[in-house]
Amino acid sequence: MELHLILLFMICASVAAVESKDLISGVITLSAAGLGLSLAFLILKAPNLAITQLVVEILYVIILIRAIINKDLVLIKDGRWLFNTISTFLFIGSFLIFAFFALKELPNFGQPIMKVAGEYLKSGLGQTGSANIVTAITLNFRSLDTLVETAILFTAIIGVLAIIRKVGKIYDPEKGKR
């Protein structure tokens, strides 16, 4: 149910991002769609992927906004310092209170929960034949993860080579493409 709501929200946000006249509002609605994707990963019980999606989301919103706004940002310095200070202290205080209750639930230091890791340690050598347990996990139990990581590295290299290259097509409005 929540998944369908989030998918509907993402579709609406994508359509709004395409249809918006202003570039910066388009970027902001697109980031809303990405946030919905992160929440969808969280509902589908993939927290690792949700964190990665959130971080990449933040990074590309920063890059896009930095690329769109060529002018320097106007900073408003006077007048609102009391409101700013009070809201900052309120946020820090609420964060500390929530962190205090959340950190109580974590396991003690030096006594981790060995639910999955214990299974790997027990049956790693027998099932994979690899004495190095890290390699057994990264290349056998979690091999698809390593595959996608390699694909990410490969894509990054292709992108860097495509951006920094000597020969390329330069668009010239008078003569057309050359």
Nearer to another protein, 55 or 147 (CB): 147
- Tell me the DSSP string of 72-122: PPPPP-SS-HHHHHHHHHHHHHHHHHHHHHHHHTSPPTT----HHHHHHHH
Contacts of 36 (CB under 8 A, 6+ apart): 6, 7, 9, 10, 13
Of 89, 119, 127, 142, which one interacts with another protein (CB under 8 A)?
127
Work out whether 123 is an interface residue with another protein (CB under 8 A). Answer: no
Shortest CB 32 distance to another protein, Å: 33
3-class secondary structure, 70: coil
85 sits near another protein (criterion: CB under 8 A): no
Q: Which of residues 145-174 bind another protein (CB under 8 A)?
A: 146-147, 150-151, 153-154, 157, 160-161, 164-166
Give least dist CB 134 to another protein, A: 7
Which 3 state secondary structure label does DSSP give 171?
strand
Q: Which of 131, 168, 171, 172 binds another protein (CB under 8 A)?
A: 131
Site for another protein in 7-46 (CB under 8 A): none
Cα angle 53, 56, 57; round to 5: 80
Judged by CB under 8 A, which of 84, 85, 87, 132 binds another protein? Answer: 132
**C-alpha R_g of the chain:** 24
Tell me, rounded to whole angstroms, the distance of Cα 168 from its chain centroid.
31
- Residues in contact with another protein by CB under 8 A are 125, 127-132, 134-136, 138-140, 143-144, 146-147, 150-151, 153-154, 157, 160-161, 164-166
